[in-house]
Amino acid sequence: MTVVEEGYRAGSGLRMMAADAHRRTFVEADVAQSVSMPQVVIDRIEPEADGVVSLVLTDPHEVPLPAWLPGAHLDVVLPSGRRRQYSLTSDPADRGRYRIAVRHIADGDGGSAEIHARLRAGDRLSVRAVRNTFPFIEARQYLFVAGGIGIAPILSMVHAAERAGTPWRLMYFGRSRARMPFLCELARLTGGDVVVRPDDEFGRPNPWMIFEQAPTGAAVYVCAPPPLAESARQVLSLHDPTASLYIERFAPVS
């Protein structure tokens, strides 16, 4: 079983990854993996779920933004000087905007609170780079597994798979529907299968139930708390050793 793992604490810059070099990325190889840019303007801020807002970012001069790969994240420098990393949640084919999602973390160190309380449409933000170390590969079929705000990097992959006409399935977990962002957007997708299972309706997720549904040889993408991510490795190693497993584990300090 191929395993590619990215684990990071948002804002720390720590990355741990074992790359599968023989696989081809989903988009053309000449698209930059790291693209620097000076500033973006907040076009709008929208509520997406309890405690979660999205920021739609555009170029101040209304020129197309640099291309990016599904799974990429953006380094954002807040007015206070705090630097944070947020996954791009928009459609990679839309060069007119970037979108990030930010959950307010009450016991964090102030980054998410600053975004929720201080930022407004029309504000400008400095951004350092679009970077991608959570590679989206070309595959015959996909299983996506997201926990809570972990939907952020997965959503761009779902859009890419939808456009390509590749079979996909999303298993989306969270504490409650009210706390799970982008449910309405996911409901509009027709090319795959979206399974939404809030804990308050179905109980805690059962890793065997989730990963035994992975089609043989599928590319499996997981962005979820560490216990679920580690369960993916254990279950798939027994259920389907031919699967390719890609993990991003969040431990936010925002």
Q: ∠ CA 47-48-49 to the nearest 5 degrees?
A: 100
Handedness of CA 56, 66, 111, 157 (dihedral sign): positive
In this predicted structure, what is the pLDDT of residue 35? 55
What is the number of alpha carbons within 13 Å of residue 60 lying toward its C-beta?
11
| pLDDT band at residue 250 using 50, 70 and 90 as cut-offs | low
Between these two residues, 241 and 116, which has the higher pLDDT value?
Answer: 116
Q: Can you say how many angstroms the Cα of residue 38 is from the centroid of all Cα atoms in its chain? A: 23
Beta-sheet strands, E only, within the chain = 2-8, 34-35, 39-49, 52-58, 73-77, 83-87, 98-103, 124-131, 142-147, 168-174, 193-198, 219-223, 244-250
Cβ of 176: how many Cβ atoms within 10 Å? 12
In this predicted structure, what is the pLDDT of residue 25? 30
Strands 2-8 and 244-250: parallel
Strands 52-58 and 124-131: unpaired
As given in the structure block, the two tokens for residue 69 are: 């790969």
Percent of the chain with pLDDT over 90: 66
Q: What is the pLDDT of residues 29-72, one digit of tens each?
A: 233 344 556 799 999 999 999 999 999 999 999 999 999 999 99
Cβ of 102: how many Cβ atoms within 10 Å? 27
Q: Which amino acid is at 89?
A: T
Q: What are phi and psi of 58, to 5 degrees?
A: -130, 165
Q: What is the pLDDT of residues 78-134, one digit of tens each?
A: 999 999 999 999 999 999 999 999 999 988 778 999 999 999 999 999 998 788 888
Whole-model pTM?
Answer: 0.85
Radius of gyration of the chain (CA): 17
